Amino acid sequence: MLAILQDIQEKEHYISVDVMRSVACYLDVPESRVYSVATFYKALSLVPLGKNVIKMCNGTACHIRGSPEVMKAFEKELGIKNGETTEDGMFTLQTVNCLGACALAPVVTVNGRVFGKVRVKDVPCIIQEVREDETE
């Protein structure tokens, strides 16, 4: 079930109620079971996410090394707050407890791509790089 939901998440950027019903029917399990799996895993979302998901680590090492300031820079640059998606649907901004790359703190991932030792001045460059990747 998880693999199916992950595939749907990757293609649709979220898991809708209709999709959960379809998965339950396909697997012949109660809808509540699909909902339990979809809400348990943080990698799955029940609300639409942007095409590019920026995850800012807020673990201890990243926090001490400036992740709050970097997060504010992303918020300012994108015009959104943590947990929001830009109006054009291109970016969603999220914080996570730990990305497991403490030696690179502060760490940001965009669609799984790791950016380490990120400073406030790096934020516009990261966003521009992602935008350019979209046009290629």
Q: Is the pLDDT of residue 133 over 90?
A: no
Q: Is the pLDDT of residue 68 over 90?
A: yes
Q: What are the structure tokens assigned to 70, written together?
A: 């970097």
3-class secondary-structure state, position 104: helix
Which pLDDT does position 125 carry in this prediction?
97
**Cβ neighbours of residue 40 closer than 8 Å, sequence gap 6 or more:** none
Closest CA to 4 of 24, 42, 30, 50: 24
Please tell me whether the peptide bond between 68 and the residue prior to it is cis, using omega within 30 degrees of 0: no
pLDDT in tens, 85-126: 999 999 999 999 999 999 999 999 999 899 999 999 999 999
pLDDT in tens, 17-60: 999 999 999 999 999 999 999 999 888 999 999 999 999 999 99
pLDDT in tens, 76-87: 999 999 999 999
Q: Is the pLDDT of residue 10 over 80?
A: yes
Which pLDDT does position 134 carry in this prediction?
78
Given the DSSP bridges, would you call strands 91-96 and 52-57 parallel, antiparallel or unpaired?
parallel
Rounded mean pLDDT of 9-23?
A: 94
